[in-house]
Amino acid sequence: MVEEKNNIRMMQGNEACAHGAVAAGCRFFAGYPITPSSEIAERLSAILPSLGGRFIQMEDEIGAMGAVIGASLAGVKSMTATSGPGFSLKQENIGYACMAEVPCVIVDVQRGGPSTGMPTLPSQMDVQQARWGVHGDHGIIALTACSAQESFEQTVRAFNLAETYMTPVILLLDEIVGHSTEKVVIPDHEDIEIINRAQPGVPPSEYLPYSENERLVPVLAKFGTGYRYNVTGLCHDETGFPTNDSSKIGMLINRLSGKIEKHRHEIIEYKMTMMEDADIAVFAYGSVARSAKSAVERCREKGVRAGLFEPSVLWPFPYEVLLELAGHVKAFVVPEMNLGQMAREIELAVRCKAPVHRLNRVDGEPINPSQVYEAVMEVA
């Protein structure tokens, strides 16, 4: 368990995700089995009851997302996990959580699509859905991970970000990360940073759940603590009740995006490997980043100055960082298991200051180091 000292284990990325959720304080999981994410639910079904938590297998993905929202409003850190088709079904309720500003975590272990697609094969086809799957203007946070260790760490961070900014947070794994078994070091509990949502500092008689503040983040009391307020998916005023006042609607919609944009520099994280003198920047995430790192090392052995830019956060996107990099490199190479969903964002970011070369694979096979190496050498 998480409380053990010096806990080193061999586990899948999905298992590590489940343990990360528990370490972050998750005590409620609702979901529906779907490949390749089912091991997360399976593991939590065994762990949560022993900790006084709750696991519920719902009738479908729609109900699962609704249950997660309800549990979170009661003050319990809550999570669900799914894959492509289930992620699509959750979108309406994810939008509700965005509008009502309910913190929760959604793990999407990606597989190929559209529709039922490739249930047992890897892809990275959901990265734009994570940003724009919910209709309407809204801010969103989406993390990614390239290993089982990162799956643990990013799950903890997903809960911390959800509680900090009162928003649903998406963790995008892929089938390779979810099903790869490797060493995971679970830190001692006291060494894990845990963030809990703020609670009201005023009495119930003075409480306005969605009142404006400098951080743009509401302070929502836990249900059952004496604070009464309305929760709705409709545009609402500071009391939480629906409104048709255009000025209040405008303030709300701007705040839903603004609370993420205002804090984007606190949210965005990335790793750079051998980028100090790089001529070619390889942008890679998830399991593809592992192939990219190997390829970059091989390029260096051949005298080609390649470097790796690996985002840990896909949304909000690091536009400013990439624009600065574009002034120092000759080109970007973007390997991904889709038809260029992140490459398009990089093209927007660099503003034609450096060419962006795509390496795409959508046949259910992973992008291997040799493919990335060859793509870099062609550009060099």
What would the mean pLDDT of 305-332 be, rounded to a whole number? 98
Residue 221 counted as domain residue = no
Residue 129 and residue 23 share a domain = yes
Neighbours of 149 (CB within 10 A): 18
**Is pLDDT at 5 greater than 60 in this prediction?**
no
The answer to the question of residue 166 being in a domain is yes
In whole angstroms, give the CA distance from residue 135 to residue 162: 20
Q: Which of 141, 171, 191 is the last residue of a domain?
A: 191
* pLDDT on residue 6: 63
Q: How many domains does the chain have?
A: 2
Same domain, 172 and 58: yes
How do residues 142-183 score in pLDDT, each as one tens digit?
999 999 999 999 999 999 999 999 999 999 999 999 999 999
pLDDT band at 3 (very low <50, low <70, confident <90, very high): very low
Q: Tens digit of pLDDT for each residue in 297-307?
A: 999 999 999 99
Same domain, 289 and 170: no
Are residues 74 and 187 both part of a single domain? yes
Mean pLDDT of the chain: 96
With respect to residue 38, please indicate whether it lies within any of the assigned structural domains: yes
Condensed to tens digits (0 to 9), the pLDDT of residues 47-101 reads 999 999 999 999 999 999 999 999 999 999 999 999 999 999 999 999 999 999 9
Of 191, 221, 245, the one marking the end of a domain is 191
Other C-beta atoms closer than 10 Å to the C-beta of 79 total 32
Based on the fold, state whether residues 138 and 49 are members of the same structural domain.
yes
Is position 250 within any domain? Answer: no
> Would you state the torsion angle of the CA atoms of residues 158, 160, 165, 170, taken in this order, to the nearest 10 degrees?
10
| Position 264 in a domain | no
Residue 361, domain member (yes or no): yes
Q: Residue 359: which domain range?
A: 272-379
Residues 27 and 170 reside in one and the same domain: yes
- Judge whether 211 lies within some domain: no
Tell me, yes or no, whether 180 and 276 share the same domain.
no
Q: Are residues 276 and 173 in the same domain?
A: no
Residue 225 lies in a domain: no
Q: What is the CATH number of the domain that holds 161?
A: 3.40.50.970
52 lies in the same domain as 142? yes
The reply to whether 165 and 312 lie within a common domain is: no
Question: Last residue of some domain: 141, 157, 191?
Answer: 191
Could you tell me the CATH number of the domain that includes residue 338?
Answer: 3.40.50.920
How many CA atoms does the CB half-sphere of 32 hold within 13 Å? 17
One domain, residues 312 and 180: no
Q: Quickly state the pLDDT bin for 2 (edges 50, 70, 90).
A: very low
Do 12 and 153 have their domain in common? yes
